[in-house]
Amino acid sequence: MRFEGLRFAFGTLSVLRVRVARWDRPTAGRAMLCAPAVGVVLGVLAAAAGALVAWRAGALLGAVVAVAVPAALTRGLHLDGLADVADGLGSGRPAEDALRIMKQSDIGPFGVLTLLLVLLAQIAALTGQFEQSPGRGALAVLAGAVTARCALAWGCLRSVPAARPGGLGAMVASTVPAAAALAVSAGAALLLALAGLTDGWSALRLPLALVVGLLAARSLLRRCVRRFGGVTGDVLGAMAETAATACLFALALA
């Protein structure tokens, strides 16, 4: 029973084959707190692939691979949410109509443009890190993946309602205590600091980049709650991609 939250997290947030025996709100809340563990696994896989390709074929191609691997291992789950939220926010429609637009299977111009810019930003930021060294690029990939999944817990705080009654968003909304989200984020920051000890100043840069990423995700969350009346699965995905991009951007500036 103690691992049901972890199984829920891997089964929902990745393509890894995991048997999920419980599907209820308490388990969903624990899953959101376990989400950074998914980020560690996916981040390590993406970092290893990106570093290997960067070492053999150059920083740019390594960055592309590092972005492509987590997208493939999540079936583009977060990227799809980002595009849907961009279309919903960009529509200028009332909340009910915007939510209907977000549920449609097609993608609009706002979604296409947002995906393009976000992926270009991630690749550009990682290219700069891989140009310094494959190891530094790998640490940046790991930081981005962990930060993205830490953001999910903040999107599921008990103070944040669901925007609509159905879907994954309604299952996980309002399930996470603020103290638990803070503890998980602090643990993730400590993990990144320890990983960064292998690269000098990265022990400081990585936790600070995580904080920047979470602040960006929280800003998007506030906007979505005001606009849609709450959180949805798409909003959570958009928060994850926003957090990862802001984290990588902060590392590039540092």
Residues 211-241: tens digit of each pLDDT: 999 999 999 999 999 999 999 999 999 999 9
State the amino acid at position 32 in one-letter form: M
**Amino acid 26: pLDDT:** 87
**Amino acid 2: pLDDT:** 60
Residue 82: both structure tokens together: 């980002």
**Amino acid 64: pLDDT:** 98
Where residue 206 falls among pLDDT bands split at 50, 70, 90?
very high
Rounded to 10 deg, the angle between the 25-57 and 59-73 helix axes is 160
pLDDT tops 70 at residue 127: yes
Enter the DSSP assignment of 173.
Answer: T
State the amino acid at position 185 in one-letter form: S
Parse the chain into domains and list their residue ranges. Answer: 4-253
The mean pLDDT of 150-162, rounded to a whole number, is 95
Cα 209 from chain centroid?
14
**Amino acid 131: pLDDT:** 97
Whole-prediction pTM value? 0.95
**With contact defined as beta carbons under 8 Å apart, do 88 and 107 qualify?**
no
Angstrom CA distances, 64 to 45, 59, 84, stand at 14, 9, 23
Least-confidence region, from 8-12, 14-18, 108-112? 14-18
High-pLDDT (> 90) share of the chain, %: 77
High-pLDDT (> 70) share of the chain, %: 99
Where residue 195 falls among pLDDT bands split at 50, 70, 90?
very high
pLDDT tops 60 at residue 1: no
**Amino acid 105: pLDDT:** 81
**Amino acid 23: pLDDT:** 75
